Amino acid sequence: MAQQPRKDVVIIGYGAAAGPISTELAKAGYSVVALERGEWRTTDDFSGRTFDTLRFAHRGELLPKQSEVALTFRSDLEDVARPTQYIMANMVGGASVHWSGQSWRYYEEDFHLRTTLEEMYGAERLAYLEEDGANIQDWPLTYEELEPYYDKMEYYIGVGGFPGNIQGEIRPVNPEEGNPFEAPRERDFPMRPLRDNATDITFREGALALGLNPFHVPTAINTEAYTNPDGLERPACSYCAFCTDYGCWNDSKASSLVALLPTALETGNMEVRPNSHVLRINHENGRAVSVDYLDLITGEQHTQPGDIFYMGAYTFQNVRTLLHSGITGGGQVGKYFMNRSGPSVSAYFDDRYLNGWAGPAVQRQGLDDYNGENNAEEKMQLSDEDFFVRGAFIGSPSQRHPLEAYNIVPPDVPRWGRAFKDYWLENFNRIISLQILQEPLPYETSYIDLDPNYVDQYGVPVARVQRQAKQNEIRMSRYMFQKATEILEAAGAARVWGNSTPRPTATMTHDTGGLRMGSDPSMSVTNKYGQMWEIPNILVGGGALLPTMSGHNPTETIWTLSYWTADAVLENKIDLEDAQAFT
Ligand SMILES: Cc1cc2nc3c(=O)[nH]c(=O)nc-3n(C[C@H](O)[C@H](O)[C@H](O)COP(=O)(O)OP(=O)(O)OC[C@H]3O[C@@H](n4cnc5c(N)ncnc54)[C@H](O)[C@@H]3O)c2cc1C
Ligand code: SF4
């Protein structure tokens, strides 16, 4: 086994989470190495070759092979878990390269959900959650503490939007466009949001007709040529519409690869080792000392020693690598896993063309009137059988390509063959399918562990995911199905269809929890800075840290927490010998 020279910081997986911390520490003079199992593709790999739905969206060219990064899933704890597809990119930059770019801050209440719910609804109304084994905890930090880091993320990585709340003043810039429910921001976004297409305008009309508050969704896609505070310039989006599932050929969509890595490399302190699959973390006397990794090109095994280790390999691989290394966090590693499931709602309009194929997927209007506790008064009126907590963002996605959208036709239309093609040729441009991002809760029975039956091609047990939709998700899904239907009908839909029953899966790209942060070491894996209680020189990144989720996508918060953790290292807010001794 080859021994590599010692580094100050060893990054395990270079995706979204790893970007900010490696750049900030490299800028400060730390020697950083990122061990990344995927290839090092560049923008040139996407230019001219990216406009291929079959290759990228269907055959998943950027995804790992099933035998390399395997995952199993069961929704019934009595069942044997079965292999399932892993859908996050396998490359330097991770899924931030082929993501969509919806970029949200979380609400203030998202940081103290347990307290909020108890105060709003009382123990009696919430008893059904306890019956289902919900384990809701407040975060160990507040929105106010994180706000400067959200701001930093938005300016360094580049986010466009209309503000809804600057320093407590609601919708100060454009009364028609901001999200009135958003948490207070210190200053405006650095850019404006993407423009609308006919799908967005239709959705907006329906929402306004119902008295709701539609707004342009904030996105980490440049809407103008933008230079960040490090002097890194990237161009404006061309609205090419090969965005989600594809690498951006134009560097307009932010990723750790194009928005952060160039700055880190310029310091001379950052090294990226692609095709390097981390197998385990070696630790002695409560301290990580090195990682063993496999060079996927030569097949040779290496050991990389270091002082600080950062888990950046996404929720499943982070949990799996820790468990395989014998690091269990006193039984907390893998617990309280969350991802979303919810209703699907589509509609046909006989009086207009919708151009839903035009523009990136996140060129959209959306609303938060049913998200979080924004509609608490209405929910309080619901019967005990219908009552639920939390909610969902509802929006109107674009980038609907004919091949990707085969499964949104009405139930009486076949999904293949002549009848499907005839229907699609006639109606493709007249259908909307909404995005409904339901917030899940953490449960005792939703967790990740090592599968007792399956190993990957390197002989390591794969991550096994168990998750169910509980009463709260089922009730929320019924309600959201109804609300989304009302919006589309108010917009003038001739026909609305869909499914109101949530169908849990192992992964849906917002896979969170499993290594949650907290104040109490017996109920969490890390402290508020993502530092492991059990092994204080291991720092955790990514959505696995989140104690609770949100009805918003997680990546802006993941990038923000990475800045927050970097700052804790640089400002000596944490002691790398003792996770309980922070300032
Ligand atoms: C199609 C799609 C659309 C999305 N759209 C949005 C959106 O609009 N908004 C939003 O907020 N989020 C979105 N997401 C989610 C977003 O991409 C993730 O939240 C984010 O990438 C997670 O960051 P991460 O660093 O934890 O993991 P990743 O970005 O997945 O990075 C993990 C890295 O670790 C590497 N790795 C894994 N195992 C090992 C190992 N053993 N050794 C070495 N390296 C390893 C992987 O190859 C990868 O590069 C989307 C995701 C997808 C797939
Ligand atoms: S739509 Fe814009 S951001 Fe997306 S891939 Fe095309 S140019 Fe890049």
Question: Which of 22, 68, 96 has most ligand 1 atoms within 8 Å of CB, for mutation?
Answer: 96
CB 241 near ligand 2, within 6 Å: yes
Q: How many alpha carbons fall within 13 Å on the CB side of residue 537?
A: 21
- Provide the pLDDT for residue 44: 86
In angstroms, the CA 174 to CA 164 distance is: 8
**Closest alpha carbon to 321 in 456, 509, 446:** 456
Q: Are strands 512-514 and 335-338 parallel, antiparallel or unpaired?
A: antiparallel
**Closest alpha carbon to 185 in 103, 117, 258:** 103
Q: State how far Cα 229 lies from the chain centre.
A: 25
In angstroms, the CA 532 to CA 329 distance is: 8
Per-residue DSSP letters for 36-91? -SSB---HHHHTTT---HIIIIIS-TTSPPTTTS-EEEESSTTSPPEEE---S--B
Q: State how far Cα 175 lies from the chain centre.
A: 29
**Residue ranges per structural domain of the chain:** 2-570
Say how many Å lie between the CA of residue 233 and the centre of ligand 2.
16
Beta strand segments in 456-521, E? 461-466, 495-499, 512-514
Its pTM stands at 0.97
Burial of 77 (0-12, 13-18, 19+ CB in 10 A): exposed
Say how many Å lie between the CA of residue 277 and the centre of ligand 2.
30
- Provide the pLDDT for residue 199: 96
Phi-psi region of 36 (alpha: psi -120 to 50; beta: other; left: phi over 0): beta
- Provide the pLDDT for residue 583: 60
- Provide the pLDDT for residue 175: 61
User: Residue 298 CB: number of other CB atoms within 10 A?
Assistant: 10
State whether the Cα torsion 59-63-69-72 is positive or negative: negative
Cα 454 to Cα 322, 460, 463, distances in angstroms: 17, 8, 9
User: Do residues 120 and 374 touch, judged by C-beta distance below 8 A?
Assistant: no
- Provide the pLDDT for residue 173: 59
- Provide the pLDDT for residue 172: 60
Beta strand segments in 408-546, E? 431-433, 435-438, 447-455, 461-466, 495-499, 512-514, 538-540
Say how many Å lie between the CA of residue 12 and the centre of ligand 1.
13
**Dihedral pair phi/psi, residue 2, rounded to 5°:** -80, 135
In angstroms, the CA 75 to CA 79 distance is: 8
Say how many Å lie between the CA of residue 50 and the centre of ligand 2.
11
Reported as a single tens digit per residue, the pLDDT across 216-241 is 999 999 999 999 999 999 999 999 99
User: Residue 1 CB: number of other CB atoms within 10 A?
Assistant: 7
CB 107 near ligand 2, within 6 Å: no
What are residue 327's DSSP bridge partners?
none
What are residue 72's DSSP bridge partners?
83, 464
Say how many Å lie between the CA of residue 94 and the centre of ligand 1.
5
Q: Whose CA is nearest to atom 6 of ligand 2?
A: 240
Closest ligand 1 atom to residue 101 Cα is: 8
In angstroms, the CA 343 to CA 509 distance is: 17
Tokens of 517: 């942060």
Per-residue DSSP letters for 285-305? TTEEEEEEEEETTT--EEEEE
Q: Whose CA is nearest to atom 31 of ligand 1?
A: 15
Amino acid residing at 402:
P
- Provide the pLDDT for residue 415: 87
CATH superfamily of 2-570: FAD/NAD(P)-binding domain (3.50.50.60)
Q: Whose CA is nearest to atom 14 of ligand 1?
A: 99
Cα 458 to Cα 81, 276, 455, 469, distances in angstroms: 20, 13, 8, 33
User: Do residues 16 and 94 touch, judged by C-beta distance below 8 A?
Assistant: yes
3-state secondary structure 204-249: HHHHHHCCCCCEECCECECCCCEECCCCCEECCCCCCCCCCCCCCC
CB 238 near ligand 2, within 6 Å: yes
The ligand whose atoms approach the alpha carbon of 399 most closely is: 2
- Provide the pLDDT for residue 316: 97
In angstroms, the CA 65 to CA 578 distance is: 39
Closest ligand 2 atom to residue 101 Cα is: 3
Within the chain, which residues score under 70 in pLDDT?
A: 172-176, 583
In angstroms, the CA 215 to CA 213 distance is: 7
Say how many Å lie between the CA of residue 195 and the centre of ligand 2.
13
Question: Which of 197, 222, 250, 251 has most ligand 2 atoms within 8 Å of CB, for mutation?
Answer: 250
User: Residue 127 CB: number of other CB atoms within 10 A?
Assistant: 11
What are residue 532's DSSP bridge partners?
526
Say how many Å lie between the CA of residue 97 and the centre of ligand 1.
8
- SS3 of the chain: helix, strand, coil, percent, to 5: 25, 20, 50
